[in-house]
Amino acid sequence: MTNRSPPDYILQDTYCPVWLGVLFLFLGVMCILSERFPKPIVTFLNGLLSLGGVALSITAIVYYSMAVDEPSFYSLCRSDDCDWYHSYTTTVAPTDSGLLLERCQEARALLLGLDISLLSILIILSLLDLSLGISAAVFSFKTLKLGLRANRNQERLEEAEKTTQEEFSTEEKE
């Protein structure tokens, strides 16, 4: 049984970064499809999915921030009685144990730095996706609003054109 912190457990055992990455890619493809096929339903669906992407970005930021807050690799260089297997099966010369412990702590520090830097990159990418999701949702809904307004104006222009044609045709007949 491992002694991991809850955020590590949530992130690793549920594959949260993998699913969030797949969903972010899906949202990006949906934005591209909305640009290529600018139909109202696709644009509306893109706006709703972008809002969902904003929620996922906030979730990712929270999860990654929790993982940075909890130190990982804390039990990597332990040599207490809890590590019963190695204490009964491995014998280390007293002169080498200090050197091994020092190298283990150096490796732990490197792994911890790598872990924090990777989580920091994931937080930055989640912040980027948050801003892109908000922008995509705003632009999608603005496009829908302008499209509906343009359709109404087009209908008004067509009605006005019809009435002027009718008036002009009645004047010609007289």
The C-alpha atoms of residue 60 and residue 87 are separated, in whole angstroms, by 40
The pLDDT value recorded for residue 43 is 87
Q: What is the CA radius of gyration of the chain?
A: 30
* Confidence category of residue 81, pLDDT binned at 50, 70, 90: very low
pLDDT cut 90: percent of the chain above it: 14
- The conformation of residue 71, written as its DSSP 8-state character, comes to P
Tens digit of each residue's pLDDT (9 = 90 or more) over 35-62 = 888 888 888 898 999 999 999 899 889 8
The pLDDT value recorded for residue 104 is 84
Q: What is the pTM of this model?
A: 0.68
**Residue written as tokens 């732990």?**
108
